[in-house]
Structure 1
């Protein structure tokens, strides 16, 4: 429990600080895009709060709270994808990428041990893969280090969700690795945001409206 608590606390602090940086950008230039990013990371931080809270309640309720926390974070990933998608027009981005990922959603219904948590993680994975592909495609055009780090961070988060997904098949084998990789993903994203790299944001914040 101590290890899980420590990892989630680090995730909470990092995601909350990224949200704070995004809000600073929104307060400065009033961009709706930055507001969506603020809401995204506030939602992700709130999810970490619920995940931490689940560690201190009776086991009869902890799974429900844990799943709720993951769902709240999935909402945050949706805001990131929406914020990015509204600004994307990349020549190098695979136009059908989002549609190619749709079949992955069906895995939540065919793998034994299906649950709401499993479905939530599948949705989070799809959103993160989509936005990481778009962001890395943007890097190919701009060659900006900040964009690359954010794209790698989003891709790392997708890997974390994939590891957690495999934990359904091999219970206990991937739980801690998934949490560590998840925090590492936010750490990669923290660096450009902490430098106030909002001019490149998700590859398109320089054109924030």
Structure 2
């Protein structure tokens, strides 16, 4: 329990810092995209808070709080995907973005292991994270910016974390801690560009927003 709590608190702190940086960017640049990203990381931070709190709640109520925390984080990933989609529409041809979106959607039958709410929430998170990581890495191939690479890598690591959590359903207890570590590592990778730049769009494109 102590290890789980510590890892989740680290994730809460990192997501809180990113949210604050995105909000400061919104105040400085007036970009609605930054405001959406600030909201996204507030939701992710709230998810970490609920997941941490679930460790102190017994039985089914604790599981419900845990699932609610995952749902909040999924909502945060959704806002990140929406923000990315709005910006990428100016950078990629619509056909290309649509084709990339089909890749994670095609994997859906292999991702959803059952019909429980927790399974469904994790599956949606995985799909959103894979979509954003693919789009961001495609952007990196065009811009070759290190910040874009780190954020794309971070989103990809978060997708791996969700996949490991899925395997934990199949092999209970075997992948839970590694999935938590991978999740925090993913946010840690995104923390670096935010720390380096102070402000960011959440997709490694601060320079473009500032123009």
TM-score, normalised via structure 1 length: 0.92
Q: Hey, what does 1:90 align to over in structure 2?
A: 92
- 2:129 is the alignment partner of 1:128: yes
Return 100-109 or 46-55, whichever deviates more.
Answer: 100-109
Following the alignment from structure 2 to structure 1, what is the Cα–Cα distance between the partners of residues 204 and 6? 32
Which of 96, 105, 108 is 1:105 aligned to?
108
Q: Hey, what does 1:151 align to over in structure 2?
A: 152
C-alpha deviation, 1:104, in angstroms: 2.4
Aligned-residue CA RMSD (Å): 1.9
SS of the counterpart of 2:107?
A: helix
Q: Hey, what does 1:13 align to over in structure 2?
A: 13
Native 8 Å contact 1:84 1:204 kept in 2: no
- Note closer, same or farther for the CA distance 1:149–1:37 as it changes in structure 2 (3 Å cut): same
Would you tell me which structure has more helix in proportion to its own residues?
A: 2
Native 8 Å contact 2:136 2:148 kept in 1: yes
- 2:170 is the alignment partner of 1:172: no
Structure 2's unaligned 5+ residue stretches are: none
Q: Hey, what does 1:68 align to over in structure 2?
A: 68
Q: Hey, what does 1:41 align to over in structure 2?
A: 41
C-alpha deviation, 1:10, in angstroms: 0.3
Native 8 Å contact 2:37 2:83 kept in 1: yes
- Note closer, same or farther for the CA distance 1:196–1:108 as it changes in structure 2 (3 Å cut): same
Structure 1's unaligned 5+ residue stretches are: none
Aligned length: 207
C-alpha deviation, 1:203, in angstroms: 4.1
Following the alignment from structure 1 to structure 2, what is the Cα–Cα distance between the partners of residues 197 and 151? 18
TM-score, normalised via structure 2 length: 0.92
